[in-house]
Amino acid sequence: MSTSGTKSSKRKRFRAPIVYCCVAAFCFVIARLYGLFGHGVRSPAMDYMFLYPLIGGGIVLIAALIKPLLTAKARKGSRAAFNLYSSAIACLTVASCLQGVVEIAGTGTVWVLWFRLAAIVFFCGMFAVYSI
């Protein structure tokens, strides 16, 4: 008897989109709970924070479906590019959460801008790594 590596690689390929969907569900629940205890004050940034991991996971899912079509040379820097992509999505999600908390509290902070700038740097780094 022999074992085939194709089943494991398929599972591994679709693990990231599933994790992104779970993170999106977690963000949705957190936003609803925070809104429940926010004394009726809502924030669009907090309400729609789940969209970053949901759309990000959709892009990863599309990439997972297309990945077998790519050559090995094109996939050489894919792990580093994926890590940078995940970091960018995480920065955008945290920035949205922080902006929502700040809006509900009625104050301001510059950290939201820094998180968004970090996300842009991570996205640029992803394109740079993947194009090498």
Burial class (CB in 10 A: 0-12, 13-18, 19+), 93: buried
- In the structure, what pLDDT confidence band is assigned to residue 89 with cuts at 50, 70 and 90? very high
How far is 23 from 86, CA to CA, in rounded Å?
Answer: 12
Q: What is the pTM of this model?
A: 0.85
3-state secondary structure (DSSP) of residue 25: helix
| Chain segment 35-71, per-residue pLDDT in tens | 888 788 889 999 999 999 999 999 888 877 876 655 5
Q: How many angstroms separate the Cα of 85 from the Cα of each of 4, 88, 89?
A: 30, 5, 6
Mean pLDDT score of the chain, rounded to an integer? 86
Backbone dihedral region for residue 4 (phi beyond 0: left; psi -120 to 50: alpha; all else: beta): beta
Q: How many angstroms separate the Cα of 19 from the Cα of each of 13, 14, 76, 81?
A: 11, 9, 23, 17
